[in-house]
Structure 1
């Protein structure tokens, strides 16, 4: 019986939870600030879970979130790791680029200003 050594190279530790990176949060909070200024949104919450990071957006503090921005790294090669999910659970937009995915919410800002 032949024993095969493990592949050479650095061993990456498995992260305990998924988080948004600082640059991702800057993009999300920029949109959030504009929507708060327009009077559309009031509060947010951030969750870092084992498989997903969630940025929840609320119209009022005591409600269910009206939108959820999710980051799922396991879907990075397939559909894209970023998604925007509505209050009813439907995926409004999914993709590989966060700015592109958030455009679905920026359309609502244009309507709010008119």
Structure 2
């Protein structure tokens, strides 16, 4: 493998295994509640995105974004709604994802 093969992958932002475990834990609970059915992961130079779908062919209900450049400012994690509104932003992924868990409590009631 030469340098050209690895450079594009290394230049992208990715979720680490621990981050994915936290996200997939919330995702699994929402799937069990019947709220979510599919997801997609995208990696770009400045952002990694975990998109959540109610159905495969729709626009994402939520996007969980990781933007390392905002680490020292507003926080690198954000949950964004279908309309593009930022629902929660912060430095702690678990804290940011609590906004989705509140929706799980409403779905069960």
Q: TM-score, normalised by structure 1?
A: 0.87
2:54 pairs with 1:67 = no
> What secondary structure does 1:32 align onto?
helix
5+ residue gaps, structure 2: 1-6
Q: TM-score, normalised by structure 2?
A: 0.91
2:33 pairs with 1:28 = no
Structure 1 residue runs of 4 or more that deviate by more than 3 Å after TM superposition = none
Q: Which has the higher helix share?
A: 2
5+ residue gaps, structure 1: 1-12
Between structure 1 and structure 2, the one with the greater Rg is: 1
CA–CA separation in structure 2 for the residues paired with 1:88 and 1:58: 14
Deviation at 1:61, TM superposition (A): 0.3
Per the alignment, residue 50 of structure 2 pairs with 55
> What secondary structure does 1:94 align onto?
strand
> What secondary structure does 1:46 align onto?
strand
Q: What's the C-alpha RMSD, in Å, of the aligned pairs?
A: 1.0
Question: What is the aligned residue count?
Answer: 101
